[in-house]
Homo-oligomer: A and B are copies of this chain.
């Protein structure tokens, strides 16, 4: 039953089918593509021959000759284990599927060079469009590819040095509202944990924090900002130090869910009750063992809107480059209990967590 499945034997071609069915190449083409009128009897013979041989049309050859689209889009994205990116990828996959396109998911790399290389590879493969969740801060190198006819839409971050569409979050307003809430609760020393400012999103969020102070005529103490908190582990460790210090902050603002989760762990471990606001919602945030306020948004919409925008370009619509800004909103999450302190607060952190 199992034939020699490991032989690299050439797949049958249209010519093979034509020979077997005793018809011309073109007739096979017509039958396979289901267009035009073909004599039913003949069509049957062709279909039979094709089935017997296990004929599968070579899509790339058809595209090459006909000049049709490859019906493929590319997505450059970082780490699918991070739910932020995974949700975007899921949205893009859904839209691609709805349009009958395949999706090539490629890693966006660490810097502008990696990114450019990935884009160029996808262009060699003649993708019809590109969705990019950028890592690097310079996209000027991509201008050429776009000019060459590959539309691009940027997700989560605006393109820099490049004229292209984008869908981003309102980082500034979100951070401003979150910080404002803490200030309005009477906190004036708010510890800020952010990832590197090389991510413009972080800069926007930090500016939102500053603006909340300004809004209220308060001055912001920049020394309360802790930079380069890239992982939950780092956040947890930095929090240990911060909490031990004199004049520790009375509330915390975390620039993303990674730092938020890490900070939460340490606060929980020490039974601390300082309020925490965290940019990005996350799975199960509602079941956290203590309150946490998140700055949430529609993550799936970010990916879906970006993909829709891309397909408009692919369909040939011509319009000025546009940037869609998605709103955020404050959501109270986590649980509250009567217990002032956990009995056995420290637990093995979940493995493989972002």
Contact = CB atoms under 8 A, between A and B. Distances in A.
Contacts of A93: 80, 105, 107
Interface residues of A, number: 97
Choose among A332, A333, A352 the residue with the greatest number of B CB atoms under 10 Å from its CB.
A352
B107 A104 contact: no
A86 B78 CA distance: 12
Nearest to A349: B286
Contacts of A265: 287
Given A93-B105, A333-B350, A147 B284 contact: no
A58 B102 contact: no
A294 to B, nearest CB: 9
Nearest to A127: B102
A281 B149 CA distance: 45
A306 B143 CA distance: 38
Choose among A64, A93, A105, A145 the residue with the greatest number of B CB atoms under 10 Å from its CB.
A105
Given A11-B149, A102-B106, A335 B289 contact: yes
A147 B2 contact: yes
Choose among A89, A90, A123 the residue with the greatest number of B CB atoms under 10 Å from its CB.
A90
Contacts of A33: none
Interface string A315-346: 01010000000000001111111110111110
A216 interface: no
Interface in A92-109: 93-94, 97, 102-107
A264 B287 contact: yes
B126 A59 contact: yes
19 contacts: A5-B149, A6-B313, A6-B318, A7-B149, A10-B67, A54-B147, A60-B125, A72-B104, A80-B93, A83-B86, A264-B287, A281-B350, A283-B353, A284-B353, A289-B289, A289-B337, A299-B352, A331-B348, A336-B343
